[in-house]
Structure 1
Amino acid sequence: MHIHICTVSDQILPNLIPALMDRPDQVVLLASERMREQAHHLRRVLKDYHIDAEIEDGAPDSGLEGIYEFALQLREKVQARHPGASITVNTTGGTKLMSLGLVEFFRGIAQRMIYTDTAHRVIESLPGSGGAPAAVQLMEDVLDVKQYLKAQQFQPTRIRSDQAQWQANVNTRKSMCKKLGARAAEIDHFIGILNKAAAQAMDDRGENLVQPEQTLPMVPHGEWEELLIEMDTRDLLAWKRGTKSVTFKDVENTRFLSGGWLEEYVWHILKDNGVFDVRLGVEGNWLRGKGSKNEFDVLATKTNRLLYVECKTLTHREEADSVLGYKVDSLGQDLRGLFGVTWLVTARTPTPNLLDRARQSRFEVIGPQELPTLKERVLAWIGG
């Protein structure tokens, strides 16, 4: 019998990750009055992994005497219920006093006492009855995107990159989206015109073609002409050389040309460079008190950290930048946890207003000049 004992706090990942790595037979969740609902959520998440969890209510938030009494009673209860069990005490959650109480009363009987150092992606072992700390344990990848979201109380209902049609076609567009990403700074104006035309070809929800034939403001020449010829060759659209008229052929490729190419560019860069999991077009609902439905452009996990990438290709308006900045910052805070990261990737040059908002908040803006070197940014995040 192997038991994990942990104190529930606002962040559940430091308790969840070691449990998923060790796969104990049972997890004992110590919950204060304030953390009762969070404890029930963590129990539900553990149940999804077929790990039994038991909640011990009444854990004190303060007062060393009360904490010592609680820890002593817990030790006696665990020993009576599971004599001879192998015990791991996770000291990460709760107050420092609670951690001190657990260490004091379980030092002689726990096989391991651990601390989840999420920032450095390791599990530290505190000195046990033998007196010497065990070797540091590197954190394993145990959370894919959907599992991470569920832990953060967000339930995905639809993921575009999981759909068979999208998976069948994404690699046929790869060279084009890589080309657009690499040249985004030089063809900024062309991207804006093409995105606008593609958006106007669809209904407001982007689900149907309503005006597939669109007229460009000028006859394309030079690099614009080369790109349209290639798009026509690849059946992304139809264009007759020397004319202003373009015809969009189907919804999926029109979405791609209206800005979806940037999401796919980010998805390919992440996929090709060793992240544990990456998903595109994630829709879903918050499980508790955070409002209704939300959609996330690109999400990736690596060593149980989340990267949330919002992608924008349309021209930024100063009055809309504050709204965009608030949205990106707010959703990122709700979703990513303490050690997740939020990026706003834009194919159009960001305005000073948007950059100011990013500096005031916890997200980074990656503009068109940085798109060709996005791989280096991804590798730095993976290694950081």
Structure 2
Amino acid sequence: MKAMLCLISEQHVPNLLGVHELEPDILVLLETEGMRKKDAANNFLKALAIGGRDYFTRHEIVPLKDGDSIEETEKALEGVYRKYRDAEWVVNITGGTKPMSIGAYEFFRHKENSRIIYISASDQSKAIDFSLGADIPLRHRTTVAEFLAGYGFDVLKYEKMKENEMRSERWLGLAAEIAARSQNGAVLGFLANLSRISNDRKGRDRGLEISEADGLFLSDDHLREMIASSFALACDGERFTGALDKYAVRFLTGGWLEVFTWGLLKGLDRAWDVHLGLQIERKNEMLQNDLDVAFMTDQSLRIVECKTGGQEHDREGSDTLYKIEAIRRQLGALRVQSYLVTTSENVIDSGTGKVKEHLENRSRLYGCTIIDPRRVAELARMYLAGDAQLNAKVAQVFLGG
């Protein structure tokens, strides 16, 4: 039998990676009172179950009174070790407090049936084996749902999200066409008019019936034909008529930027589990959030907020950054980075043509990358041209290279 010791902390990914790679028969979870109150061990078990490793009936929790005591740590381990003395032990000293790690190391380092491993925060592709000296490759790719579960969050309406992604796949080309023209005055006017009509009639909830009296026109022939074809609208000259369901309305009133961003990120080898319109909830705090786009890279979560239109309510662009940072903080995780993808000129300094200095400074403080309107249009043009360098450019913009 193989037993694996995990030192429980809020950062659960190193433990999760070790379990997936080494597949123990039983987990021994060393947990302080502070972590018990945060339900950290249960969150860890839930994250494992989501990834296909169910240890709810194959674990033992060992309570630790003082996580800052090496002696208390060794004392807590003595009893459980005697219980599984004949097991092959794997001891992951990555989590917990430093005294817990030292205590676990000291307790097991002279035991012939133990293997002590450590996973560096800077490189989670391998585990350092202090017993045998050879690195252990960690091949599991943590999903968004596994990552969030470790912090007490559930992903809501997963099947509806997948339906939305399948629907959006059909509209990806149209999303790129709109993104490429997102600084064009005629296109901006069309989108603004449609948003106004939608707001007046609650189109994002009910759908819209467009008549000639609405005067919804678009002079761009190619884009007009694509929109009409995609949503079975009629065109009398340059005017649209016909019915749009709520999903089409949501797409045309801003969702196209989310779809385009999602489509770009799906093409990256270094990004995985890319999702569109993710709804998450932490039940015990009645805390809910909607993430426009979310994905994983380097075993870390990335969240993307997309903004279109004039954003008249946020002329300086600061409110959106505050919102993104608030969401990131609510997740309670260290390895989370964020992005603001925007086609709004409110982030641009009219004098320099670059992102406003105060927004650039604040975004660096928050660990948030701003992807401005010109960069959005550039990526869209590369996408439409089938540019072979597109993925490399997307990786540079979103992943730093």
Fold match (TM-score > 0.5): yes
TM-score interval w.r.t. the shorter chain? Answer: 0.7 to 0.9
Segments of 5+ residues of structure 1 without an aligned counterpart are none
Q: Give distance in 2, aligned partners of 1:280 and 1:169.
A: 11
> C-alpha distance in 2, partners of 1:70/1:220?
70
> How far apart are residue 335 of structure 1 and its match?
3.1
Equivalent-residue separation in structure 2 for 1:10 and 1:99 (angstroms): 15
Partner of 2:318: 322
Selected match of 1:270 from 265, 270, 274: 265
* Cα-to-partner distance string for 1:191-232 (whole Å, 9 max, x where unaligned): 3641551463365482212553487889644xx343213322
Stretches of structure 2 that go unaligned for 5 or more consecutive residues are: 348-355, 380-389
- With 39-48 and 113-122 compared, the bigger mean Cα shift is at 39-48
Residue aligning to 2:351? none
Task: Report the equivalent of 1:209.
Answer: 207
CA distance 1:359–1:316, shift in 2 (3 Å):
farther
Name the CA distance, whole Å, in 1 between partners of 2:71 and 2:260.
55
1:70/1:249 Cα in 2 relative to 1: closer, same or farther (>3 Å)? closer
CA distance, structure 2, for counterparts of residue 213 and residue 355 of structure 1: 43
Distance 1:326 1:175, change over 3 A: same
Give the Cα separation in 2 of the matches to 1:343 and 1:237: 34
8 Å contact 2:194–2:216 — kept in the other structure? Answer: no
Counterparts of residues 111-126 of structure 1 (less than 5 Å): 111-126=114-129
Find the aligned partners of 1:30 and 1:23 in 2 and give their Cα distance. Answer: 18
**Cα gap change, 1:325/1:176 in structure 2, threshold over 3 Å: closer, same or farther?**
same
Aligned to 1:147: 146
Whether the 8 Å contact between 1:141 and 1:302 is mirrored in structure 2 is no
Which residue does the alignment assign to 1:294? 289
Please give the alpha-carbon distance, in whole angstroms, between the structure 2 residues aligned to 1:179 and 1:364: 24
Contact 2:187 2:218 in 1 (8 A): no
Q: Does 1:90 align with 2:86?
A: no
- Shift in Å, 1:36: 1.4
Q: Residue in 1 aligned with 2:107?
A: 105
**TM-score normalised to structure 1 length:** 0.84
CA contact (8 A) 2:175 2:257 kept: yes
Give secondary structure in 1 for the equivalent of 2:29.
Answer: strand
Partner amino acid for 1:362?
G
Q: Does 1:8 align with 2:8?
A: yes
Q: Find the aligned partners of 1:279 and 1:312 in 2 and give their Cα distance.
A: 17
Residues matched between the structures, number: 370
Tell me how far apart the structure 1 counterparts of residues 198 and 46 of structure 2 sit (CA, whole Å): 45
CA RMSD of aligned residues (A): 3.0
Describe the shift of the 1:350–1:11 C-alpha distance in structure 2 as closer, same or farther (beyond 3 A): farther
Matches within 5 A, 1:165-244: 166-184=164-182, 186-187=183-184, 190-191=187-188, 193-198=190-195, 200-201=197-198, 203-204=201-202, 206-210=204-208, 212-213=210-211, 220-221=218-219, 224-235=220-231, 237-243=233-239
Contact preservation (8 Å) 2:153, 2:281: yes
Q: Tell me the distance in 1 between the aligned counterparts of 2:344 and 2:233.
A: 22
2: distance between equivalents of 1:2 and 1:199? 63
Q: For residues 339-358 of structure 1, what are the structure 2 equivalents within 5 Å?
A: 339-351=335-347, 352=356, 354-358=359-363
Provide the TM-score with structure 2 as the length reference.
0.81
The answer to whether the aligner puts 1:361 opposite 2:360 as a matched pair is: no
Task: Tell me the SS of whatever aligns to 1:94.
Answer: coil
How far 1:153 sits from its partner (Å)?
1.5
Report the equivalent of 2:43: 41
